[in-house]
Structure 1
Amino acid sequence: MPGRLFPVGGPVSEKDIVDREDFIASLEARLADGQSIMLAGPRRIGKTSIAYEVLRRLKERGFYTSSVDFFRLSDKREFAFSLINACLENRTGVRRTLEALKDRAKSVAGLAKLTVKFSDLEFSVDFLRDDLDENALLEYALDLAEILANRDSKNMVVLFDEFQDASRVAGHSDIYKRMRSHFQNHKSVSYLFLGSKEGMMNSLFGNRREAFYRFAVVLPIPPIPEDSWRMYISQKFKEQHIKADEKVIREILQKTGGHPQDTMLVCSEIYYALLETGEKTVTLEYVRLGYDRALLTLAQVYDEILDEIGQRACAREVLKRIAAGDRIYSKKDNPNEVKRALDFLITKAIIEKNGRGSYKFVEPMFREYILREL
Structure 2
Amino acid sequence: MHFPLGGPVPAEDIVGRDDFITSLETRLAEGQSVMLAGPRRIGKTSLAFEVLRRLKKKGFYVGYVDFFRASSKRSIAESIINSCLENRTGIRKTLNAVWDRAKLLAGSAKIAVKVEDLELSIGFPKKEMDDETFLEFALNLPELLAEKDGKRMVMVFDEFQDAGQIAGLDIYKVMRSHFQHQNKVSYLFLGSKESMMQSLFAGKKHAFYRFATVLPIPQIPEEDWMSYIARKFNERGIEVTSDYVLREIVQLAGGHPQDTMLICTEAYYTLLEANERRLSSEIVRIAYERALITLTPVFDEILDEVGKKPLVREVLRRLAIGETVYKDKNNPNNIKRAVDLLSMSAIIEKEGRGKYRFVEPMLKEYILRNY
Give the equivalent residue in structure 1 for 2:135: 138
1:117 counterpart SS class = helix
- 1:188 is aligned, of 184, 188, 196, to 184
- 1:322 is aligned, of 319, 324, 327, to 319
Instruction: Point out the more displaced range, 264-273 or 99-108.
Output: 99-108
1:118 counterpart SS class = helix
Give the equivalent residue in structure 2 for 1:64: 61
Cα deviation, 1:277-319, whole Å, max 9, x if unaligned, reads 2211111221111111111111111111111111222111101
The alpha-carbon deviation at position 105 of structure 1 amounts to 5.4
Q: Which amino acid aligns with 1:20?
A: R
Unmatched 5+ residue regions in structure 2?
A: 106-114
Cα deviation, 1:23-70, whole Å, max 9, x if unaligned, reads 111111110000000000111111111111000000000000000000
The verdict on how the C-alpha distance between 1:107 and 1:276 changes in structure 2, with shifts beyond 3 A counting, is closer
The alpha-carbon deviation at position 326 of structure 1 amounts to 2.0
Q: Any residues of structure 2 matched to 1:133-282 within 5 Å, and which?
A: 133-170=130-167, 172-244=168-240, 245-282=242-279
Question: Does structure 1 retain, via aligned residues, the 8 Å contact 2:173–2:207?
Answer: yes
Q: Which amino acid aligns with 2:289?
A: D
- 2:307 is aligned, of 304, 307, 310, to 310
Structure 1: distance between partners of 2:336 and 2:130: 45
Give the equivalent residue in structure 2 for 1:111: none
The verdict on how the C-alpha distance between 1:161 and 1:107 changes in structure 2, with shifts beyond 3 A counting, is closer
Structure 2: distance between partners of 1:196 and 1:284: 33
Instruction: Point out the more displaced range, 58-67 or 292-301.
Output: 292-301
Q: Any residues of structure 2 matched to 1:11-26 within 5 Å, and which?
A: 11-26=8-23
The alpha-carbon deviation at position 103 of structure 1 amounts to 2.4
Instruction: Point out the more displaced range, 239-248 or 228-237.
Output: 239-248
The verdict on how the C-alpha distance between 1:25 and 1:116 changes in structure 2, with shifts beyond 3 A counting, is closer
Cα deviation, 1:201-249, whole Å, max 9, x if unaligned, reads 0000001100000000000111001011111111110111111221111
Structure 2: distance between partners of 1:132 and 1:140: 10
CA RMSD of aligned residues (A): 1.4
Question: Does structure 1 retain, via aligned residues, the 8 Å contact 2:348–2:359?
Answer: yes
Give the equivalent residue in structure 2 for 1:117: 118
- 2:42 is aligned, of 32, 42, 45, to 45
2:65 counterpart SS class = strand
- 1:9 is aligned, of 6, 9, 14, to 6
Structure 2: distance between partners of 1:190 and 1:300: 38
The verdict on how the C-alpha distance between 1:107 and 1:373 changes in structure 2, with shifts beyond 3 A counting, is closer
- 1:347 is aligned, of 320, 344, 348, to 344
The verdict on how the C-alpha distance between 1:334 and 1:290 changes in structure 2, with shifts beyond 3 A counting, is same
Structure 1: distance between partners of 2:61 and 2:260: 33
Q: Which amino acid aligns with 2:118?
A: K
The alpha-carbon deviation at position 274 of structure 1 amounts to 1.1
Structure 1: distance between partners of 2:232 and 2:117: 50
Q: Which amino acid aligns with 1:217?
A: T
Q: Is 1:81 aligned to 2:78, yes or no?
A: yes
Q: How many residues align?
A: 361
Seq. identity, %: 60
The alpha-carbon deviation at position 353 of structure 1 amounts to 1.6
- 1:55 is aligned, of 29, 52, 56, to 52
The alpha-carbon deviation at position 106 of structure 1 amounts to 7.4
Q: Is 1:31 aligned to 2:28, yes or no?
A: yes
User: Structure 1-normalised TM-score?
Assistant: 0.94
The alpha-carbon deviation at position 352 of structure 1 amounts to 1.2
Unmatched 5+ residue regions in structure 1?
A: 109-113
Structure 2: distance between partners of 1:209 and 1:123: 35
The verdict on how the C-alpha distance between 1:107 and 1:26 changes in structure 2, with shifts beyond 3 A counting, is closer
Give the equivalent residue in structure 2 for 1:299: 296
